[in-house]
Chain A
Amino acid sequence: DVKVTQSSRYLVKRTGEKVFLECVQDMDHENMFWYRQDPGLGLRLIYFSYDVKMKEKGDIPEGYSVSREKKERFSLILESASTNQTSMYLCASSFTGLAFFGQGTRLTVV
């Protein structure tokens, strides 16, 4: 079974904090993604990576950065958390056209 694991299910952070969301996959997939899900807006792509140390901006990269130092790990960084970054964050990995998602991290910025 493919496993994509996100480090936290729920997080509460203060405005201005630097926040790290970690994601690990165990299937040696080349591609990894970070999405956020908001009501009425569906899944919006923040960043994706198709190889170690490679990254591409998605539709809404502002306020975020990513790191992929190892193939199995893809980290999303909120440089200075703001209340409008309160959301459900979903990590995914893919190979041959099928994406597998982690369980999601519900981040609340207060």
Chain B
Amino acid sequence: DQQVKQNSPSLSVQEGRISILNCDYTNSMFDYFLWYKKYPAEGPTFLISISSIKDKNEDGRFTVFLNKSAKHLSLHIVPSQPGDSAVYFCAASAYTGNQFYFGTGTSLTVIP
């Protein structure tokens, strides 16, 4: 049973516009959320995270929003650049556990 879901397998955005990647989760015990970026033939690299005590976290062009009541988070990339083209994975973990639960990924293509 998938506890973390990314319902959009792919997304195409024009360079300079905003990219919005979405993620939903089902387990209310999750209290820490992460986004990873993955290029083909490479391992995922950490991008940005958010704790459940916050509803927003920003790092440069990347902002993650968390809506706990809806069990939904999103990653905003503004402005999008061609180098952002990659697969983005959402992940969740619980303070009481030591596992990470990953979504199925969204493949972002930024069109020059």
Report whether A98 and B49 are in contact in the complex, using a CB–CB cutoff of 8 Å: yes
Q: In the bound complex, what is the Cα–Cα distance between A48 and B72 (angstroms)?
A: 27
Across the two chains, which residue of chain A brings its CB closest to B100?
A99
Which of B43, B89, B95, B99 meets A48, CB within 8 Å? B99
Report whether B43 and A102 are in contact in the complex, using a CB–CB cutoff of 8 Å: yes
Report whether B43 and A104 are in contact in the complex, using a CB–CB cutoff of 8 Å: yes
Question: How far is the CB of A48 from the nearest CB of chain B, in Å?
Answer: 7
Instruction: From known contacts A41-B104, A98-B49, A99-B91, infer whether A104 and B42 are also in contact, taking CB-CB under 8 Å.
Output: yes
Q: In the bound complex, what is the Cα–Cα distance between A90 and B100 (angstroms)?
A: 13
- Counting chain B residues whose Cβ lies within 8 A of the other chain, the interface size class is 20 to 34
Residue A31 interfacial (CB < 8 Å)? yes
Question: How far is the CB of A25 from the nearest CB of chain B, in Å?
Answer: 12
Residue B63 interfacial (CB < 8 Å)? no
Report whether B43 and A94 are in contact in the complex, using a CB–CB cutoff of 8 Å: no
Residue A43 interfacial (CB < 8 Å)? yes
Q: How many residues of A contact B (CB 8 A)?
A: 28
Residue A64 interfacial (CB < 8 Å)? no
Contacting residues of chain A (31-70) with chain B, CB-CB under 8 angstroms: 31, 33, 35, 40-45, 48, 50, 58
Contacting residues of chain A (70-110) with chain B, CB-CB under 8 angstroms: 90, 92, 94, 97-104, 106
Residue B34 interfacial (CB < 8 Å)? yes
Q: Sorted from nearest, which 6 A-B pairs have the closest CB atoms?
A: A101-B43, A42-B104, A43-B102, A104-B43, A103-B43, A101-B44
